[in-house]
A and B are shown apart, each in its own frame.
Chain A
């Protein structure tokens, strides 16, 4: 590239009238070793832009597929929780009621069993009575 052309491009550059292509020409010219002394002062301007464009983000981005629940799903989930708590509570209550009934039944049975025992003792008396009767009224 002729020096005159570069100087003209620089002129345009400072008026912000250069295209991207022309700016690329300037960038590559000023990164070469053909820069004459009187243009040397412009070198850092272009070197800076080139260096900055090579910066990279050191942390890789990984897509986090945190799937958010849709509002409908949220409602459904809370209904499920409430209903299952209800079912468990009911079952627990039923279990308690059954246990109570069982104990009541057992108590009743025990009462009956006691009565039977008493009755059995009375049968003993009856046997004695029968013996005595037979002794007295000898057949």
Chain B
């Protein structure tokens, strides 16, 4: 894979990899660092990329593993994931104020989920990927994925219902 092909295939994945890293690492800065790291690694391995069936799945798996390692490292050194400069999910996207509360609620709820479920949500709901790709990346059976996803969606619905009926913000 030469520089041009690399730019076309891998660099175009950058935003996606960034979103996935941000889902797991929470902070934008850390997600950016992770993203640069992953892209550098991919660049070094560019000669192996031609033989892959899906560069995208490979890159996402790499990002997942990298982020999980980072999280483990943090836990080991007792550093909790607290970011005072945390910016809520998508402040660069315009939305109305009443919507903001609801989106923040969803954000907060997703953070309580285990890493694998957060990833599942990200890959299916946000990135819109097919189940067979997600299976490979998360190394899960298709039934397990559907059960898990259904549970996440229903839990989200619960949260929104609660918010609607009690007006909790």
Contacts and interface: CB of A to CB of B under 8 A. Distances in A.
27 contacts: A14-B150, A14-B157, A16-B146, A20-B129, A24-B128, A44-B103, A44-B106, A52-B19, A52-B126, A53-B126, A54-B92, A54-B93, A55-B15, A55-B22, A55-B90, A56-B15, A57-B31, A57-B32, A58-B32, A59-B32, A59-B35, A59-B36, A61-B35, A61-B39, A63-B6, A64-B40, A64-B43
Interface of A: 13-17, 20, 23-24, 41-45, 47-49, 51-59, 61, 63-64
Kindly state the interface size class of chain B when it binds its partner.
35 or more
B153 A57 contact: no
Contacts of A15: 146, 150
A49 B32 contact: no
A59 B40 CA distance: 14
Contacts of B107: 48
Interface in B1-48: 3, 6-7, 11, 14-15, 17-19, 22, 28, 31-32, 35-36, 39-40, 43
Interface of B is mostly: helix
Nearest to A61: B39
A53 B92 CA distance: 12
A17 B147 CA distance: 10
Interface string B144-169: 01110110011011001100100000
A15 B151 CA distance: 8
B127 interface: yes
Contacts of B147: 16
A47 B128 contact: no
B161 A61 contact: no
B89 interface: yes
A63 B15 contact: no
A23 B125 CA distance: 8
Contacts of B102: 43-44, 47
B96 to A, nearest CB: 10
Contacts of A52: 19, 89-90, 122, 125-126
Nearest to B163: A41
A59 B32 CA distance: 7
B149 A51 contact: no
